[in-house]
A and B are shown apart, each in its own frame.
Chain A
């Protein structure tokens, strides 16, 4: 299985900050990487697919980059609605695997 490792596990930031979350794969996954946002009691919501493609309806302050084994999710200017947990996920091969999550909290 491909292992996905996110850092940091927790991130404290303020409204208006620019934040970056990193995800590393245990082997190359080309660009088959997605990012999800999850709020308490809700299903994950797809934000980014194929490493850098923005899902329809997702605000442009979210962006993704990377390929191979190292990827980043950047939020350019944090909004109050963005405080949530973020997961990366590889879909290069089965089994699909997720990172352990990054909790983004208000400073």
Chain B
């Protein structure tokens, strides 16, 4: 059964870089059928798509975050990662990784809360 598990620091200081990894088990990240992406949700608020990546390395980013976001893939570890630079309190959120069927996030990890605070 497919599982996606987010990992990384739960607390990041303002102006620093948020780094998260999503480990995929029960399926191959190198499958040609899927993209892999990140979505976030500030506490008590709605959902914001951050970006997605194909196993070949092709990426798509939300223009609102593009200047600060990097998504990468490591097929040898069956993982993909998110880096968000120059964070502020507005980046405090639950971060979800998800498998995408085309453009559609159809299978989500459980999410991890990242708090930006000094």
Contact = CB atoms under 8 A, between A and B. Distances in A.
Interface stretch (A15-23, A59-67, A69-77, A88-96): A88-96
Contacts of A54: none
Contacts of A32: 103
Interface string B95-107: 0100001111111
B6 to A, nearest CB: 10
A87 B62 CA distance: 19
Interface of A: 1, 32, 34, 42-46, 49, 55, 87, 89, 91-101
B46 A96 contact: no
A22 B102 CA distance: 24
Interface residues of B, number: 21
Contacts of A49: 101, 104, 106
Contacts, number: 52
Contact of B60 (A42, A94, A100, A101): A94
Contacts of B102: 91
Interface of B: 46-49, 60-64, 96, 101-111
6 contacts: A44-B96, A45-B108, A89-B105, A94-B103, A97-B49, A101-B46
A98 B108 contact: no
Provide the main secondary structure of the chain A interface: loop
A67 to B, nearest CB: 16
A1 B65 CA distance: 13
Contacts of B48: 98
The residue in B48, B101, B102, B106 that gathers the most chain A C-beta atoms within 10 A of its C-beta is B106
Nearest to B102: A91
Contacts of B62: 94-95
Contacts of B96: 43-44
